[in-house]
Structure 1
Amino acid sequence: MSNAVSALGGVAWSDGIAMVAEVPLQGMITLRGPLGDPKVKNAATGVAAVDMPAQGAANCVEYRGICWMSPDELLVLCPYDTVGPNLEKMRATLGDLHSLCVDVSDARAVFDVSGPLAREVMAKLVPVDLAPDAFTPGMFRRTRMAQVPAAFWLHEADRFRIICFRSQAQYVFDLLCTAAQKGSAVNIF
């Protein structure tokens, strides 16, 4: 059996106005079903060990969390090496409820953009109002980042976490580094 590796081998870049780094392997489980059903809520919160987020929000602590993806979809985050047992736990909790839970960990790449100007870097790339009073911790967006789909949230003060398809990891990393080049501060926030 081969060893799991991240999309870009843990690449990091810090020669600009913000730090860009690939996050180590992250466990990710897509959970689809009626979000108002207690079984769905219990399956998600039982694995992530956090409360269910509101619509358009993420509730994340370190490598655990729940991200609201759509009216019938959640992204459940857990440590990478616990995905298998967590899938079994979720399926047992869901029982015969019409639902789906699947491991998408290896199909995605995850990046952090951090530093006092991280908000500026992200604002150059996504069609979202990222003013501090408009985009606050816990808010979650699925959108486009230049030419590719991405999802992101303010993981903690001055640190965004971005999820993209693994096949687009190099493009997203290069895009983030370009937006964070020295001398590119706009000083809008």
Structure 2
Amino acid sequence: MNKLAVSLITVVTTLLSTACMNSAYNTTENETIDTNNSAMVKKVKASNFDVKNYNDETVKIPVELVFKDEKKEVYVDIKKGSTIDEKVDIILKELSEQCFNGLPILAVVNESGIARIELVELDNSKKSRVSWATDYLNDYAKEYTINNIVKNILREDYKGDFVKEVQLYYNEQLVTAD
């Protein structure tokens, strides 16, 4: 009876933690994440940076959202002339709201094009049932979380200055795809 209960709890936990995950979403040979105790990502097959002109002052940039059984591309509005930090913040805000239950994601891009992204837990006073550690950085969802964030920040097809490398942190520790 205990084995059945443990198995049932494991199945339910797995299903809940992968609610925003696509089971077919795996790293391919064109995607490389440095797992040698570093979360620095140098080359990743990024989604096509197909910027669409919205008007004279705004462009639409695609954000690829990966859900349980589907991929969906949405466009975020970004003002022309926005800094790299502003563009990254807008992309991360959309990812947070759509795939990570609104959990905070902070980013700083240095002058070399390296983005330091920090996954931040909600304030305890908000009593959220969702957390980075238990829901998105567990053994089942960590690779999905890393790839979903990194693929939307690295834009290989973008002609101009943008993020060249990504460092992903949680509680001041590098997140690695062990």
Does TM-score exceed 0.5, indicating one fold? no
Q: TM-score, normalised by structure 1?
A: 0.28
* Larger fraction in strand: 1
Q: TM-score, normalised by structure 2?
A: 0.30
